[in-house]
Structure 1
């Protein structure tokens, strides 16, 4: 690692870790497995869409950065965007990708090194929501590839995971317990996280 690292994790209830009886979520578990000199800030808010995250992102992230430090940003949203309300999705996929592009552009301008974690599945939202979310995740991944930003896919990987599914259905239908968040943490940790965390920051 490149000295002291400050990481803001911004996104929705999955970032917040709702449903975890240990109150660690995947963020706490990834940090625990990573170790090192990291100062972390969890900025997840339940029900937030990409519009909500974009609206509050920089007023929350910038005060938590430190000049001369290795400042990082982990972004994760999209599951709430794809939820249907009153016959339409809360945020269209094209707009979600635009919101992500805006955040990545500003991160580059602020010399903050980003990483994107794809939207997890919402089990009780059904097959159509899963298809929409998986398609959105593909578009987000394509954007990240074009900008050389690490993207960690989670949607289909967790949709097929029996621990995630079982715990979500035993809870509120969307959020898992400790086992499901451990699965998500393992997905993140087995992805591009280690290379990202060990590279020098912007």
Structure 2
């Protein structure tokens, strides 16, 4: 089989990295496997870093993507962030909502030349933090919609999903295990299918 013409950079935090998943797939690995099973394999780079805020992601996303570009493949980007922004340190969130939104706006401008899919921040076990995450997700959604960027709002469904809630509570209060990531994958997959091109098996090589 010839190399795929698509490459995907998954950029974000520990949820992108799949922390807690004993199968080491996370939701991103499941999406890549879905592509391969459909006969449309893609080269995938998981660029999730545990603890990263939107400011830290802004500081590295441009270089991360540029280092992985290839003349043989077109690049697509999946971005997910925000939970760490809302985490309290010294009685205040690590980043203000205004700063988080400004960081997202700068990221959208920075990678405007690549197809982008944004997956919203996820639910955790703490109710007060979840209230902050819910508002940030709504703000992120509005910013993406204004620019015509596809956005997958997952917070509401995950907050009330029994498997996600149970596994997050049983672990560290933030990260689920494999079944929780499966639930997240199932929320993202329908929008993913509309976002990814239906290229032939193997794809064309790009000059």
TM-score scaled by structure 1?
Answer: 0.91
CA distance in 2: counterparts of 1:65 and 1:184, whole angstroms = 28
Question: CA-to-partner distance for each residue in 1:162-181, whole Å, 9 max, x for gaps?
Answer: 10111111111210000000
Where 2:77 maps in the other structure, the secondary structure is strand
Decide whether the 8 Å contact of 2:62 with 2:111 is kept in 1.
no
> How big is the shift at 1:133?
0.4
CA shift for structure 1 position 68: 5.7
Cross-structure match for 1:89: 93
Correspondence for 1:135 = 135
Tell me the secondary structure at the aligned position of residue 195 of structure 1. Answer: helix
Note the C-alpha offset of 1:31: 1.4
Contact 1:30–1:186 (8 Å) recurs in 2: no
Offset, 1:67: 3.3
> Would the aligned equivalents of 1:9 and 1:15 in 2 still touch at CA under 8 Å?
yes
- Which gives a bigger RCO, structure 1 or 2 (Cα 8 Å, sep 6+)? 2
Change in 2 beyond 3 A, CA 1:97/1:199: farther
Q: Could you tell me which residue of structure 1 aligns to residue 62 of structure 2?
A: 58
Q: What's the CA shift for 1:37?
A: 2.7
After TM superposition, list the pairs within 5 Å mapping 1:2-41 onto structure 2: 4-35=5-36, 36-41=40-45
> Which one has the largest radius of gyration?
2
SS of 2:102's equivalent in the other structure is: helix
CA RMSD of aligned residues (A): 1.4
Alpha-carbon offset, residue 84 of structure 1: 1.0
Task: Tell me which moved more, 39-48 or 26-35.
Answer: 26-35
Deviation readout 1:46-70 (Å, 9 max, x if unpaired): 1110011111111211111123632
Look up the SS of the partner of 1:81 in the other structure: helix
Distance 1:63 1:177 in 2: 31
Moved over 4 A (4+): none
Unaligned runs of 5+ in 1: none
Please tell me whether the aligned partners of residues 11 and 48 of structure 2 are also in contact (alpha carbons under 8 angstroms).
yes
Alpha-carbon contact 1:78-1:96 (below 8 Å) kept: yes
TM-score by length of 2: 0.89
Secondary structure, aligned partner of 1:198:
coil
Q: What per-residue deviation string (whole Å, max 9, x for no partner) do you get for residues 22-56 of structure 1?
A: 11100001111232131100000111100111111
